[in-house]
Structure formats: structure tokens, C-alpha cells
Amino acid sequence: MTTKERVHPAVVGRTVSIVGIGSYLPERILTNADLEKMVNTTDEWIITRTGIKERHIAAPDQASSDLGAEAARRALADAGISPEAVDMIVLGTITPDMGFPNTACFVQAKIGAKNAFCFDIEAACSGFLYGLEIGRQFISTGSMETVLVIAAEKISSILDWEDRNTCVLFGDAAGAVVLQARGAAHGVMASTLGSDGTLAELLMLPGGGSRSPTTEETVRNRLHYMKMAGREVFKHAVTNMTRAAKDALQRSGLGIEDIRWIIPHQANLRIIEAIGERLGVTKEKLVINLERCGNTSAATIVVALDELAREGKLQKHDKILMVAFGGGFTWGASVVEWDK
Ligand SMILES: CC(C)(COP(=O)(O)OP(=O)(O)OC[C@H]1O[C@@H](n2cnc3c(N)ncnc32)[C@H](O)[C@@H]1OP(=O)(O)O)[C@@H](O)C(=O)NCCC(=O)NCCS
């Protein structure tokens, strides 16, 4: 059976396509050499253990909504759609502008999407794929026509810049897609999402919530910064992303040979290579930009997808497998047929 003949079993209702995409990386670049001056680390350690060479860091006056709004403007321009046409904004972030209102509302105000209803999802590094599937559902049922899915992260604002275990790994970025129903094309073909809350303590930001409201003591104990058990997270990331990727593929009715590009969450080059090996794909199918961006949490996948599009590497009907893993734990994978 050829790819075209395969019937997609997971989608009911209208098919939903990415009709516009955009991303934004803050101007300032922080290199490994810069980090050598800040914590006890070396360029060599960071490159060999993670693959990261540099990352972008937002300006002090830029919040996640500023990054997200810029990505959203670019995605809307790419789609040729006005902000007023957006029915819903769903934004994935672990670095909201503030406790509330939600960051999607701030983006709405900045871009003038006055007819949208707006909410955030907190699924850490899986935020974009969670948002993509949520957006797909609303359009698929006919409830909405145009959805903006944004991932926006100012991770630098929750990093402990004295903790070499975490501060060398992350960066700031935002990406956005516009979703609409588009007739016969497959668009977002299949998704799988999962979570395991029993392992929450391996990756968290413990302070500042209702469990430990901010006090002088929580600040003194640096509980307002991200904590991660890197080695443990590594193992779970490989296992769960591999499983999610296989599950989404199965749901899509495609085989791995049908996939043109795999965009894994960009946390560590060794994680990406391990997933590639387990899926049995050649390195040229793996999309990797973490050497320039580091781990930008929810934003990694959509930024990489946008770069791929801008570099002219996406052909109409290319099948793309995206797979993510993050705090929660949360994970997800989606198979998308490129439709632009
Ligand atoms: C964090 C990570 C890069 C660490 O790599 P690792 O190979 O697992 O390294 P280990 O944790 O075994 O630590 C090795 C040593 O390097 C040290 N080290 C940690 N960070 C360092 C740094 N920036 N520079 C130099 N040494 C460092 C550790 O202290 C440790 O020293 P020790 O053996 O004396 O205790 C890796 O575990 C990882 O990428 N984990 C997953 C991260 C992830 O995916 N997070 C987000 C999910 S969304």
C-alpha cells in the first residue's frame, strides 16, 4: 500500500493544517566561553555532554509574551491572516509573564487578536505539541476556524546562574503556528500525548506556587529556580520519546520510511542520537539546532520547524514526526503532513 492510499485512523472530523509559521530568537547570544566566566564549566564539557555551543538570552525588559507576540506576528504574516481572524490562542510556557493573567492574554493584547479567547498550557517542554493537538481538536470539530498555537519561553528567568548542572543547558525563544482546516490535505495526521506525575520531583521549579509561596526563606534556598536530576531525566526522555514517536507513527498509518524529517525536542544531542538509533533513522533525517539555541523548552520544536521551512527544506506533502518530553513528566509526538 502506498502512503497516499493509507487511511489515517486517528483523525475524525475536519483535517487541520499548519497554514503559517514563525519564530523569534532574542538578539543576545551567550556562548560557552561566556559561561566559562560565570560557573565552573568548560566549552569542551558542554559540547561533549550536550552538543550545545551557544544560546539566545532575552533582554531584561523582554517577557515571554514579548517573544511570543513577535513569533505570532511572523506566523500570521506567513499565513496572510489578520489578527482579528484568530478565534483562539493557546500558549505553552513554563515561564509565564506572571502568575496571572495568562501569557496568551498578554500576547492577544500585543498583536490585536481581539476576537480570540486565550489560555496557557503548562506542559513544560511538551507544550507546543500539547497546544498543537488542542488546537487541532477545536478546528477538527468545527468549533473554531483559526487557532494560533504559541510556545514562548524566557527560561533564563528561572535558571540558577550559579548552578552549572542546569544553567548551561537552556536558552530563550518563541515559535508559533496558525492552524486552519484545509480540505483534502492530511495536515496534522496523528498525535499521542502522555504524562507521569509520579516522577515530578526529577524536574521542577519548587518555589513560588501554592505549595511554597515566595518568602525570604524560599528565595534564600533558591527554590525559585529550576531543579533537575539530569541523569534520571535523560533516561526517561529517551524511553518516553522513542515510545511516543512509535505510537504516533502507528496512529498515522505511516512507517518510519515515510517520514522525511524528525524533529525531536532539543535538550541534548546524545538524547537525540539515542532516539534516532532506536527509531532506526539516518542522521540526515534528524533536525538539530540545539548547538545554536540550547534547550528552549516548549519552543524547541516549533522554532526548529520554522527554521526548516525558512531554509527551503520542506516540500509540500513531506511527513514530519515531532516528539517532545519535559517536566511533569509530560511527553507527546505528532505526525504532520506539510501543507504549504
Ligand atoms: C544534564 C546532563 C547534560 C548531564 O550530563 P551527564 O552525562 O548525565 O552528566 P552527569 O550528571 O553524569 O554528571 C557528570 C559530572 O559532570 C559534572 N557537571 C555537571 N554540569 C557540568 C558543567 N556544566 N560543567 C562541568 N561539569 C559539569 C557533574 O557535577 C558530574 O560531576 P561528578 O561526577 O563529579 O558528580 C544530561 O544528564 C542531560 O542532558 N539530561 C537531560 C536533560 C534534559 O533533557 N532536560 C530537560 C528535559 S526537557
Q: What is the mean pLDDT of the chain?
A: 95
Q: pLDDT class for 185, splitting at 50, 70, 90?
A: confident
Instruction: Classify the C-alpha dihedral 12-15-20-21 as positive or negative.
Output: positive
- SS3 at position 187: coil
Give the pLDDT of residue 10. 55
* pLDDT surpasses 60 at 4: no
* pLDDT surpasses 50 at 2: no
**What's the whole-number mean pLDDT along residues 2-22?**
69
Q: Which of 105, 125, 167, 293 is catalytic?
A: 125
Return the CATH number of the domain spanning residue range 16-181. 3.40.47.10
φ, ψ for residue 205 (rounded to 5)? -115, 100
Q: Which of 234, 265, 300 to mutate to test the pocket of ligand 1 (most atoms within 8 A of CB)?
A: 234
The alpha carbon of 192 and the centre of ligand 1 are apart by a number of angstroms equal to 29
Measure the CA–CA gap between 116 and 125, rounded to whole angstroms: 24
Whether 317 and 260 have beta carbons less than 8 Å apart is answered as no
The angle subtended at Cα 57 by Cα 54 and Cα 60, nearest 5°, is 160
Whether 323 and 241 have beta carbons less than 8 Å apart is answered as yes
pLDDT digits (tens, 9 = 90+) for 84-107: 999 999 999 999 999 999 999 999
pLDDT digits (tens, 9 = 90+) for 197-211: 999 999 999 999 999
* pLDDT surpasses 80 at 7: no
Q: Which of 53, 128, 231 to mutate to test the pocket of ligand 1 (most atoms within 8 A of CB)?
A: 231
* pLDDT surpasses 50 at 5: no
Q: In the CATH scheme, what architecture does the domain 188-337 have?
A: 3-Layer(aba) Sandwich (3.40)
pLDDT digits (tens, 9 = 90+) for 28-62: 999 999 999 999 999 999 999 999 999 999 999 99
Measure the CA–CA gap between 228 and 198, rounded to whole angstroms: 15
- SS3 at position 87: coil
* pLDDT surpasses 70 at 8: no
Domain range summary for the chain, segments of one domain joined by +: 16-181, 188-337
The angle subtended at Cα 184 by Cα 182 and Cα 187, nearest 5°, is 60
* Same fold: 16-181 with 188-337: yes
DSSP letters along 99-151, please? SSS-HHHHHHHHHT-TT-EEEEE--GGGHHHHHHHHHHHHHHTTS-S-EEEEE
Residue written as grid cell 511572523? 74
Q: Is 125 a catalytic residue?
A: yes
Residue nearest to atom 25 of ligand 1 (CA): 41
